[in-house]
Amino acid sequence: MASRKKPIVWSIAGSDSGGGAGIQADLATFHNFAVHGCTVITAITAQNSFAVGHVSVTPRRTLAAQINALDSDLPADVIKLGMLADEGVVSMVAKYLEGYIGFVVCDPVMVSTSGGELMATGVCECLIEKLLPRCDLLTPNLSEAEAILNRKIKGLDEIERAAADIVALGARSVIITGGHLTARNNERHDYWTDGIEGFWLSGANIDTLNTHGTGCTFSSAIAAAIARGYDLRDALVIAKAYVSQGLRMAVQLGGGPGPVAHVG
C-alpha cells in the first residue's frame, strides 16, 4: 500500500443543519488546512441562524460503530472534540481516548450563542473527571470556563488564574478565549497556559454579528495545524489568524447571525 501523506483528523462532534458550526465547520476548516477529516457524529441538531430547534443524541451503538470503523482503518493523527451532548457520549469517548496516544483538542461546547442547550445538565462534572485528564488542549470561551470552575470570571488576572485552575483539574493546557471581557483598544486577547508558562494571544477585534461557529472553527484549526506538524504555540497563532479572517469575510445568510467564513 502507498504510504500516507495526508494527515487524518477526527472530529467527534455534533452536526449543525445550518452548516455554520459543529461537524460542518470542522470539515470546512480541515479542507482548508489540507488534512483529511473523519467524523464521529455525536448528535444531530436541527438549527438555523435563529435557533437550535431540536437535538437528537446518537444512539450508543451507532456512536461505537463510527469509532470502531475509523479506528480499524483511518486512525487519527489528531482528535478534535466538540459537542458531546450527554454523559453516555462523554464516557464512551473518554474510554476510547484511554488507548489513544495522539494529540487531543477539546472544545467544551455547552450552549450555542443562539441559546440552545448542547450539553445536558450535570455533564460538566463527568467531562472534568473523565475527559479533562486526556485533553492536551482545552479551548473554553469565558462562560464555558466559568461553568467548568463553577465561578464567575471578572477581570484579566482572573482569566489567568482560571486557566491555571483548569490545568490543575487535569487538562495538559488550556486557552481561554476572552471575548467581550478582554476587548480593549480594538483588540481581543486569549490566554494560554500549561501551568508552567503562559501568554496572551492578541488579535483584532472584528466588529460583526456573524460569529456562528467561531469556537468550533478555532479548535478545528488548531487540531489541523497540529496534524500538519506545527508546534502548539504556532498552531494557536495560525488558528487565531484563520478565525480572524473568517470573521472579516463572514456574511449573513439567513435572517439571524451568519457563520464565520472559511477562507482557504
Quote the CA–CA distance of 91 and 245 in Å, as a whole number. Answer: 36
Nearest-approach distance from CB 171 to ligand PLP, in angstroms: 18
Angle at 243 between CA 32 and CA 74, to 5 degrees: 40
Using the rule CB under 6 A, is 14 a contact of ligand PLP?
yes
* Min CB(109)–ligand PLP separation in Å: 4
Q: Any contact of residue 219 with ligand PLP (CB under 6 A)?
A: no
User: Taking CB under 6 A as the criterion, which residues in 98-127 touch ligand PLP?
Assistant: 109, 112-114, 118
C-alpha cell at 140: 473554553
Residue 7 vs 22, nearer CB to ligand PLP: 22
Residues 21-60 that bind ligand PLP (CB under 6 A): 21-22, 45
Helix (H, G, I), strand (E, B) or coil at 59: coil
- Residue 128-167 contact track with ligand PLP, rule CB under 6 A, x = bound: ----------------------------------------
CB of 86 closer than 8 Å to CB of 119: yes
Binding mask 53-82 for ligand PLP (x = CB under 6 A): -----------------------------x
Whether the CB-CB separation of 138 and 258 falls below 8 Å is answered with: no
C-alpha span between 86 and 83 (Å, rounded) = 9
Residue 214, interface with ligand PLP (CB under 6 A)? Answer: yes
- Residue 15, amino acid: S
HSE on the CB side for 20, CA within 13 Å? Answer: 29
Asked if residue 262 binds ligand PLP (CB under 6 A), the reply is no
Quick one: 21 or 78, whose CB is closer to ligand PLP? 21
Q: Minimum Å distance from CB 216 to ligand PLP?
A: 5
Rule CB under 6 A: is residue 206 a binding residue for ligand PLP?
Answer: no
3-state SS class at 200:
strand
89 binds ligand PLP (CB under 6 A): no
| Contacts (Cβ under 8 Å, ≥6 apart) of 188 | 178, 179, 182, 202, 203, 204, 205
Residue with cell 450527554: 86
What are the residues binding ligand PLP (CB under 6 A)?
13-14, 16, 21-22, 45, 82-83, 109, 112-114, 118, 212-216
